[in-house]
Structure 1
Amino acid sequence: MTQAVLFDVDGTLIDSNDAHARAWVAALAEAGHEIPFERVRPLIGMGGDRVLPALVPGLSDDTEPGKTITKRRLEIFNERELPHLRPTGGARELLETVRARGARVIVATSAKSAELKDLLAVGDFEPLVDKASTSDDADSSKPAPDIVTASLHKAKVTANEAVMVGDTKYDVEAAHKAGVKCVALLCGGNPRETLRKADAVYADPAELAENLKRPPFRWTVA
């Protein structure tokens, strides 16, 4: 029986992937790096510490220019994007359904802890979350398994007792590296072919919630 369901946030529970990409584009442009949205967008979902060097070789969170860009990216996101964000379809229903089935809701996100509270507030999700793991809990961000492993530890469950729900190939890879099955959602705007390694694929939280209500349900059946 599934004891815990690990949830990514951006693109999974909140429709925010494009917003994050726009914030990166704007912050990079202010620093003199003209990077098109189309290059940034496929990278959303991995840790921010990986996004920057992937776009501008030689830049990282360990350098002063990199720290400045990363800080500015968050400022732009909070000022321009956060007020307009909305939950993905059926996100709250899915969390409530998981809890009704006796499983714990564990957040496993590449976001920083300081960002998570504001993100969860978009859908008033915090009362439905039992535990949360962020990039602050991990030595390496997604697609490394560290955040997933940290979530298992906080939930006090084994990999076989948990399932991950995400929207990117980075979620799938991180989960599988930790030995956890991963259900992918298309609501994050990522092409289905990039999610082919997921154990199941659904359109959005609403579809997954509806299927959860129909016994017998198996996480590996789409």
Structure 2
Amino acid sequence: MADTAVLDVDGTLVDTNYQHALAWFRAFRRFDLTLPVWRIHRAIGMGGDQLVPAVAGEGFEAEHGDAARDAWVEEFDPLIGEVRPFDGAADLLRELGGRGWTVVLASSGKQQHVETYLDLLGARDLVAGWTTSDDAEATKPAPDLLQVALERVSGKAGVLLGDSTWDCEAAGNAGMRSVAVRTGGFSVEELTGAGATAVFDSLPGLLDGLDGTELARPS
């Protein structure tokens, strides 16, 4: 019986994926590793613990993983002022709460970044809780963060909203259904193939079609 709407933040509620890709590109360049930005973008949605070995290899992870993640923070911080919420983000939070969902944000972002997003969204009074990268050792597509998010609000079962295949895979690994938006740059076919039961181009589109999705009402 799903009673909790579990929402990804980066790329789903706030428009950050391309800033993240650029920050990772610059971080890897510090170690004389030049990766195609499109390959990095395809991994956005993973946490840094998963992304570094996925795009740079296990050898790089063993030698430089922690330093690369620190470099990414340094590269991303100057870009965060460019981040804006997606149209409809705050409206969606209000609508889900009004329909009876317990709303929790499942983010693998750094604490300081999540705090900024909460302020941008005006979300502190609209959600029951949130996570950060400090809350789980393994990030998406591992299920850990979603499970922590559910536990944080004493939820019985959740439905995930995300923007990447990694979100949808994490939901499946956590035993959750998922709905997706294409704001992360993934195709309908990729998202449904990863487990999404419905895909929308935007948050306003999702709001218009909410009644036909897993997020219509708590069940």
TM-score of the two chains, using structure 1 as the length reference: 0.88
The equivalent position to 1:107 in structure 2, one of 72, 97, 105, is 105
- Contact kept? 1:108, 1:151, Cα under 8 Å: yes
2:181 paired with 1:182: no
- Contact kept? 1:5, 1:104, Cα under 8 Å: yes
Q: Secondary structure at the match of 1:31?
A: coil
Inter-partner Cα distance in structure 1 for 2:130 and 2:215: 24
**What is the deviation of 1:82?**
0.7
Q: Secondary structure at the match of 1:201?
A: strand
Deviation digits for residues 167-207 of structure 1 (CA, Å, limit 9, x no counterpart): 11111111111111100101222122210121111122212
**What is the deviation of 1:48?**
0.8
Alignment partner, residue 53 of structure 1: 53
Q: Secondary structure at the match of 1:199?
A: strand
Deviation digits for residues 104-159 of structure 1 (CA, Å, limit 9, x no counterpart): 21011222334311232232323322111233222311101111111111121222
Alignment partner, residue 190 of structure 2: 194
Q: Secondary structure at the match of 1:78?
A: helix
- Contact kept? 1:46, 1:141, Cα under 8 Å: yes
Gaps of 5+ in 2: none
Q: Secondary structure at the match of 1:127?
A: coil
The equivalent position to 1:163 in structure 2, one of 159, 167, 178, is 159
Inter-partner Cα distance in structure 1 for 2:168 and 2:134: 20
Amino acid at match of 2:44: I
- Contact kept? 1:199, 1:220, Cα under 8 Å: no
TM-score of the two chains, using structure 2 as the length reference: 0.90
RMSD of aligned residue pairs (Cα, Å): 1.9
Inter-partner Cα distance in structure 2 for 1:121 and 1:85: 12
Inter-partner Cα distance in structure 2 for 1:148 and 1:67: 23
Alignment partner, residue 129 of structure 1: 127
Gaps of 5+ in 1: none
